[in-house]
Structure 1
Amino acid sequence: MLPEKYRLAAVGRFLLEQFELRRPGIREWSPQVEASLRQDAESELQLMEKQVREIGIDDATYWQRVRRALDEILLPRYAALATGEMELAKRDYGIWRGGDLVARATFALAGFILGIICVEVPYIPIQAKWFPALLLVLGPLFPDAVMWLHRRRWRRKLEALVGDLHRASETLETYRPMSELTRALGIPSELAEAPPVAARERG
């Protein structure tokens, strides 16, 4: 049985973390970028495969399936997600002027005016006189709030991808032929396939 950190979902999470370390330096997604990430992933997989062999599990077929999941699930999905995220970053996530000092001052002023309106208009149930001052303070933080929401949404997308890999991992383990499992664990096939000996025959 493979240790948990070598299961497909854990491997995928680790590779995504490595991809994320490189993503800030990538201006635009391209086949060259994808090939570079694939090469880095292959280096990590080879190291993991070596570590697993050192603990007595030689399972080349499993790692072939991991590489197939990398090529067919992880990299294509990550490429699509990263491309969309990079496009949002180019537009400063829709934040006016990218949230610079002028934008933050404008947000503060707009918040203050909005707060006064909320207090003065009779049918708005806000009577606290300090409410405009609160919006004045919070206004400059609006770009940070938008960025936090985008980062949170991005983490959720990556977690969903890891979840898909987890389900693929369960399928991978459930439907593996017995011959593969015995070969990986170094059990002679004739012992694995031999029928159980009845109790009366052993006695």
Structure 2
Amino acid sequence: MVPKKYSLAAIAQHLLALFEVRRPGVARWDAETQQRFGREADSALLQMEQQCRELGVDDPPHWQRARAVVQDALLPRYARLAEAENAAAARDYGMWRGGDLVARASFALCGLVLGAIAVAVPWIPVQEKWVPWALFVLGPFLPDAYSWWYRRQHRKRLGALVADLAREGATLEAYRPLSEVQQSLGFRADGAQVPATDAPAPAPRAQTKG
């Protein structure tokens, strides 16, 4: 069995982090883009498998399942999420005028007016005189908060994707054949330990004259 850092959830988090760095630069999600992301995923998986093998854990069935899950589940689902996020970002998430200087100044003015009305109307329980000016100062930052909220929703969807793959990985590990577990631990099917034939022979001890 592989260490936790090579579990299916950890693999998904690592690949999504790599993909998110490249996502803003993708202009169009087509077959070529998906193939490029697939090649990057294969390269990352190969590097992780090699590192795991260097740590003394050789588990080929685990990496075969990981590659299948990445190709069949992670890449298609991420492509849909990334395409939707890039399309929304290209429209500035629907923010009026894209949140430019005119929009920010308008939000500041609206905040000032609404705050003054809230203080002036008797049946609104707002009496602090600083409320209109606070809204005036915070108004220009409304587009930033708006964009932050949408990006946070995208990160939550990625987190849900990782959680789904973590559950699938736990299920696959729970129902692995015992022979695969024994092989990954270095034992044969009969329980005997596999001899380390590739280990170098011990160097002869130098004899000294007494």
Under a length normalisation based on structure 2, what TM-score does the superposition of the two structures give? 0.88
Contact 2:92-2:147 at 8 Å conserved across structures: no
Question: Is the CA contact 1:104–1:140 (under 8 Å) kept in the aligned structure 2?
Answer: yes
Partner of 2:196: none
Q: What RMSD, in angstroms, separates the aligned Cα atoms of the two structures?
A: 1.2
Q: Percent identity?
A: 53
**Partners of 2:88 and 2:94 within 8 A in 1:** yes
Distance in 2 of aligned mates of 1:131 and 1:186: 69
Following the alignment from structure 2 to structure 1, what is the Cα–Cα distance between the partners of residues 88 and 44? 30
Name 2:77's counterpart in structure 1.
77
Number of aligned residue pairs: give it. 192
Instruction: State the structure with bigger RCO (CA 8 A, min sep 6), 1 or 2.
Output: 1
* Aligned counterparts of 2:162 and 2:61: Cα–Cα separation in 1: 21
Q: What code does the residue aligned with 1:58 have?
A: D
Amino acid aligned to 2:30: S
Corresponding residue for 1:7? 7
Q: Write 1 or 2 for the structure with the bigger share of helix.
A: 1
2:200 maps to what in 1?
A: none
Letter in 2 for 1:100: D
How far 1:72 moved relative to its partner?
Answer: 1.6
Q: 1:111 Cα deviation (Å)?
A: 0.8
Which 5+ residue runs of structure 1 have no aligned equivalent?
Answer: 193-203
- Structure 2 residue runs of 5 or longer lacking an equivalent are 193-210
CA–CA distance in 2 between the matches of 1:122 and 1:75?
A: 57
1:23 counterpart residue number: 23
Q: How does 1:23-172 map to 2 (within 5 A)?
A: 23-172=23-172
Distance in 1 separating the partners of 2:8 and 2:63: 9
1:107 touches 1:142 (CA, 8 Å); kept in 2? yes
Q: Which residue of 2 aligns with 1:197?
A: none
Partner residue, 1:196: none
